[in-house]
Amino acid sequence: MGEVKEVPGTTEAELRASLLAQITEICDPAEPVQADEVTVGEMALEWQRSTSTTQTLLDRQVDLGQMTRRRALSTKTGRECWAYRVQNVKDS
């Protein structure tokens, strides 16, 4: 472990970029919340309800096919969260 293998014709920066790409593919990190998405926290504040009640209401709409949900990265907290988006006809 810790042994460095040289690859002829490849720079250290290229090897590093390849490693970062491999790890990113393995870990599948969440993409940031998009402008057309909302988080449970945002809707809880808007509706003045608890986060659990808000998530239940949003998830119900996902189950009915009215909205979609995905893992996302909150741009406000830097943590993973659920991002919800209204289901468009073209998304179906």
Taking only the tens place, the pLDDT of each residue in 14-43 is 989 988 889 888 987 889 999 999 999 999
Lowest mean pLDDT among 17-21, 62-66, 83-87: 17-21
Backbone conformation region of residue 9, classed left if phi is above 0, alpha if psi is from -120 to 50, else beta: left
DSSP H/E element including 83: strand 80-86
Alpha helices in 1-92 (DSSP H): 12-27, 40-47, 51-63
pTM: 0.70
Residue that has been written with the tokens 């741009």 in this structure: 75
> Mean pLDDT over all residues of the chain?
89
In the chain, domain spans: 38-91
Residue scoring higher pLDDT (65 or 89)? 65
Write the CB contacts of 55 (distance below 8 Å, at least 6 apart in sequence). 40, 82
